[in-house]
Amino acid sequence: MNNELDWKHLPFGYYPTDFNVRCTYKDGKWGEIEVTPSDKIELHMAATCLHYGQECFEGLKAFRGVDGKIRIFRMHDNAERMRQSAEGIEMQPVPEEIFNEMCIKAVKLNERFVPPYGSGASLYIRPLEIGVSPSIGVKSATEYVFMVMVTPVGPYFKTGFGCTDICIMRQYDRVAPRGTGRYKIGGNYAASLTATEHAHALGYSAVLFLDPKEKKYLDECGPANFFAIIDGKYVTPKSDSILPSITNRALQTLAQEMGIEVVARQITVDELEKATEAGACGTAAVISPVGTIRDLDNERDYVISADRKPGPVCTALYEKLNAIRLGEEPDTHNWNTIVE
Ligand code: PLP
Ligand code: COI
């Protein structure tokens, strides 16, 4: 166990760990898995990742459970999404066995950085793949490197499981209507930075992006999906331009099991009037309950939580999700991979 870290107050940031794991695709095949203590990489300056954005990544978490065991949440789903992202930008997909083996290896090698049970923190696992062969013409690489690094983290939004305020602004798009929004690729995040910085400067923690075609429907919330409780139902945007969140899928399953109807559909901005709760959800954000949503262009506030307390549905879902990830409740959906 690492004694230098203040587990209960970890930020969502990069803290160096002991090792990371790498694998190279070259001459038409994936090579041996390598372990290194270095957090640097050497790259050709004409690598396709640097010029043409051939980069995709994932984000998942490992938790120390009530029984002392380490569990990785929904790793297989992240492997599958990473495959889709890679194929979406003409990169060589990482076989699921390599993805899984490397995530598990990276966690095991850095076991002393897995936060203790009860700290509220977790070990964030960040797999990433880049095109590394040189090209000046716009085309996909012939060589790729897949890496898995890990770092201990606390909550993404400073408020943790407290209400956060977000805003709607229409002058920026994160993605195009038939673009790459459903993939987890660096380019989407680069395209979101100006809007996000703008929102931060105005005092909001994230932008609730609207659909890029009509600017009529809710899309997603910065680095997280969005859901609202409307007429007692769990309502979440159905859209081709958002990342299909694995956390959101888990919450939908849990909501249904609690007897709450789940609806994935287009949601117009003015429907927020009827929302009794709302949340941003994702691996990093977990559930961040939303306090107020400011529509900047129309100077209108949608006050979701007047007392600034997380509502009953958000609270129940948050507790249930955590209980499963920490081994406090049975994992009936086989979401956890126990690291032996
Ligand atoms: N949307 C975006 C843009 C994200 O970056 C993330 C984070 O991964 C999510 C949604 C949530 O996805 P997940 O729950 O799979 O982490
Ligand atoms: C995640 O939730 O895993 C993310 O990747 C969000 C963000 C830090 C990019």
The band of 80, judged by pLDDT with boundaries at 50, 70 and 90, is very high
The ligand 1 atom nearest the CA atom of 283: 16
Mean pLDDT of 224-233: 98
The Å distance, Cα 282 to ligand 1 centre, comes to 5
Q: What whole-number distance in Å separates Cα of residue 110 and Cα of residue 92?
A: 27
Position 212 scores a pLDDT of 97
| Side chain identity at residue 241, one-letter code | S
Mean pLDDT of 295-323: 97
Q: What is the mean pLDDT of the chain?
A: 97
Is the distance from CB of 218 to CB of 208 less than 8 angstroms? yes
Mean pLDDT of 88-112: 98
Nearest ligand to the C-alpha atom of residue 227:
1
Position 216 scores a pLDDT of 97
Is the distance from CB of 285 to CB of 223 less than 8 angstroms? yes
| Among 114, 141, 117, CA closest to 130 | 141
Residue nearest to atom 3 of ligand 2 (CA): 59
Residues with CB under 6 A from ligand 2: 59, 223, 282-284
- Both structure tokens of 241: 């331009």
Burial of 332 (0-12, 13-18, 19+ CB in 10 A): exposed
| Sign, CA torsion 25/151/323/160 | negative
Task: List the beta bridge partners of residue 300.
Answer: 295
The ligand 2 atom nearest the CA atom of 247: 2
The ligand 2 atom nearest the CA atom of 283: 2
| Among 140, 184, 122, CA closest to 325 | 122
Position 234 scores a pLDDT of 98
User: Does residue 203 register a pLDDT over 80?
Assistant: yes
Q: What whole-number distance in Å separates Cα of residue 335 and Cα of residue 101?
A: 17
Of 242, 247, 287, 318, best ligand 1 pocket probe by most atoms within 8 Å of the beta carbon: 247
The band of 3, judged by pLDDT with boundaries at 50, 70 and 90, is low
Residue nearest to atom 12 of ligand 1 (CA): 245
Burial of 257 (0-12, 13-18, 19+ CB in 10 A): exposed
Residue nearest to atom 10 of ligand 1 (CA): 224
Q: What whole-number distance in Å separates Cα of residue 32 and Cα of residue 303?
A: 53
Q: What angle do CA 156, 161, 165 make, to 5 degrees?
A: 75
Q: What whole-number distance in Å separates Cα of residue 329 and Cα of residue 326?
A: 8
- Both structure tokens of 20: 């990371």
User: Does residue 282 register a pLDDT over 90?
Assistant: yes
Position 2 scores a pLDDT of 66
Assess whether the C-beta atom of 223 lies below 6 angstroms from ligand 1: yes
Position 4 scores a pLDDT of 79
Position 67 scores a pLDDT of 98
For residue 126, give the DSSP letter.
E
